[in-house]
Amino acid sequence: RDWSSDVCSSDLQGDVKSELPKFEVPKVEFNRATFMKLLPWAIGMAIIGLIESQIMLKEAGKIIGRPGNPLKETLAQGVANIATGFGKGMGGCVLVGQSKLNYAHGATTRLSSMATSLSFGALVIFLSKYINKVPMPALMAIMMEIVVRTGDWGSLMGGMNKNTLVTFLTVMTAVFGQNLALGVGAGTLANYIAG
């Protein structure tokens, strides 16, 4: 069988455009119906982003011995996500895998995060035609490598414990509920109840 006919070219290559964002107010008809349609997605993204960022902030504080300021980080993330929307961007949060990889390679200040962001920006602006030629399986391999390097594999050796059960509940809720926010919420609640 010829599988190539079943695979779209967009599945194999990206569509990164080499251009700087332009300030633009999103054209959305704002009324009650639109607001109610967007609200669950906005709340879900906010919950996931904040929890992930706060977990990494706490872990980073332990690693480098300098606790962060949760309120400051939350406000900065909120302002950045709102500003991103005016440049046709997508909201985001801390990249746990990237942060752990940075720490594993000796990063101890925000300079590493700034260097990563500026490098990504430069790659997109100046090398987009080459980025578009990188096949998706190669990107998946990179992501799997990050998982392998940053995963807490030692925690699996202790058998079933509180952390294992909370992780299992989080993953199962997210997968079967088809909603990451539900999984994160269930895992957070279970962790809180388990103490």
Ordered DSSP codes for 94-112: --HHHHHHHHHTT--STHH
Q: What percent of the chain lies above the pLDDT cut of 70?
A: 88
Predicted confidence (pLDDT) at residue 27 exceeds the cutoff of 70 = yes
Predicted confidence (pLDDT) at residue 65 exceeds the cutoff of 80 = yes
Predicted confidence (pLDDT) at residue 14 exceeds the cutoff of 80 = no
User: Which backbone phi and psi does 171 adopt, to 5 degrees?
Assistant: -65, -45
What SS3 state is found at 93? Answer: coil
> Which tokens go with 117?
């962001």
Predicted confidence (pLDDT) at residue 40 exceeds the cutoff of 70 = yes
Pairwise pLDDT comparison (10 vs 194), residue with the higher score: 194
Predicted confidence (pLDDT) at residue 8 exceeds the cutoff of 80 = no
| 179-188 average pLDDT score | 82
Instruction: Tell which residue, 154, 152, 133, 156, has the closest CA to residue 55.
Output: 152
Instruction: Look over the chain and give the mean of its residue pLDDT values, rounded to a whole number.
Output: 80
Chain mean position to CA 30: 28
Predicted confidence (pLDDT) at residue 137 exceeds the cutoff of 60 = yes
Q: How confident is residue 71, by pLDDT bands cut at 50, 70 and 90?
A: very high
Decide: residue 103, CB within 10 A, 0-12 exposed, 13-18 middle, 19+ buried.
Answer: middle
Predicted confidence (pLDDT) at residue 12 exceeds the cutoff of 60 = no
pLDDT of 15 reads 67
Query: Distance of CA 195 to CAs 26, 48, 58, 162, 191, Å?
Result: 43, 21, 17, 9, 6
What SS3 state is found at 152? Answer: coil
> Which tokens go with 136?
């998706």
| 166-176 average pLDDT score | 87
pLDDT, tens digit, for every residue of 48-64? 888 888 888 888 888 78
